[in-house]
Chains A and B, each alone.
Chain A
Amino acid sequence: MRVTVDQDICIASGACVLACPEVFQQDEDGLVVLVTDEPGSELHDAVREAMAACPAAVIEIEE
Chain B
Amino acid sequence: MRRVVIVGGSAAGLATAEALRRFNFDGEIVIVGDEAEHAYDRPPLSKQLLCGDWDEERAKLMPPARVDRIGAEFRLATRATALWPDDRLIWLHDGGKLAYDELVIATGVRPRSLPATESAPVHVLRTLPDCRRLGAAIREHGRLVIVGAGFIGLEVAATARKLGAEVTVLEPLTAPLASRLGDYTASRLLALHREAGVDLRCGVGVSAITVSETSSGRVVEGVVAAGGSIIESPVVLVAIGCVPNVGWLTGSGLDLADGVGCDAYCRAGPHIWAAGDVARWHHDGLGQSLRIEHRMNANEQATAVAANIMGAARPFTPVPFFWTDHYQTKIQLAGIVAAGAEERAEFADEDSFVRSFWAEGRLIGVLGWNAAKAMMPLRRSLDMTAPVVA
Residues of A within 8 A of B (CB): 9, 11-15, 17-18, 26-31, 48-49, 52-57, 60
Among A27, A54, A60, point to the contact of B373 (Cβ < 8 A). A27
List 7 additional contacts besides A15-B296, A26-B372, A49-B303; criterion CB under 8 Å.
A12-B323, A13-B296, A17-B376, A18-B380, A55-B43, A57-B60, A60-B66
Counting residue pairs across A and B whose Cβ atoms lie within 8 Å, the total is 64
Q: Are A55 and B298 CB-contacts (below 8 A) given A27-B373, A29-B372, A30-B372? A: yes
Interface hits, B290-337 → A, CB 8 Å: 295-296, 298-300, 303, 321, 323, 325, 330, 332
Chain B residues whose C-beta falls within 8 Å of the C-beta of A15 in the assembled complex: 296, 299, 321
Among B15, B43, B303, contact of A11 (Cβ-Cβ < 8 Å): B43
The interface on chain B, measured as residues whose beta carbon lies within 8 A of the other chain's beta carbons, has a size of 30
Q: Is B355 an interface residue (CB 8 A)?
A: no
Check B5 for interface membership: any CB of A closer than 8 A: no
A18 proximity list for chain B (CB < 8 A): 379-380
Report if B97 contacts A (CB, 8 A).
Answer: no
Closest to B379 in A: A14
CB distance from B302 to the nearest CB of A (A): 8
A48 touching B330, Cβ below 8 Å: no
Query: Is A53 within 8 A of B303, CB to CB?
Result: yes
Instruction: Select one of B22, B295, B380 contacting A52, CB under 8 A.
Output: B22
Chain A residue at smallest Cβ distance from B368: A30
Partner of A57, one of B61, B300, B371: B61
Flag whether B164 is at the interface (Cβ < 8 A): no
A60 touches B22 (CB 8 A): no
Q: How far is the CA of A17 from the CA of B377 in the complex (A)?
A: 11
Q: Which B residues touch A14, using CB under 8 A?
A: 372, 376, 379
A9 to B22, Cβ gap below 8 A? Answer: no
Asked whether B58 is an interface residue with its Cβ less than 8 Å from the other chain, the reply is yes
- Closest CB of chain B to A20's CB: distance in Å? 14
A17 to B298, CA, bound (A): 18
Contact yes or no, A29 B373, CB < 8 A: yes
Decide: A30 and B330 in contact? CB cutoff 8 A.
yes
Tell whether, in the assembled complex, residue A13 and residue B323 are in contact, meaning their CB atoms are under 8 Å apart: yes
A57 nearest in chain B by CB position: B62
- The contact string, 1 if C-beta is below 8 Å from chain A, for chain B 1-44, is 00000000001000100110010000000000000000001010
> Measured between alpha carbons, how far is A60 from B62 in the docked complex, in Å?
10
Among B18, B19, B299, B325, point to the contact of A55 (Cβ < 8 A): B299
With A12-B323, A13-B296 known as contacts, the answer to whether A52 contacts B15 (CB < 8 A) is: yes
Picked from A11, A52, A54, the residue with its CB within 8 Å of the CB of B325 is: A11
Q: A13-B332, A15-B296, A55-B298 are in contact. Are A26 and B62 (CB under 8 A)?
A: no
B376 near A12 with CB under 8 A, answer no
* Chain A residues closer than 8 Å to B387, beta-carbon distance: none
| Selected contact of A26 from candidates B66, B303, B373, CB within 8 Å | B373
Interchain CA distance A29-B41 in the complex, whole Å = 22
Nearest CB in chain A to that of B59: its residue: A9
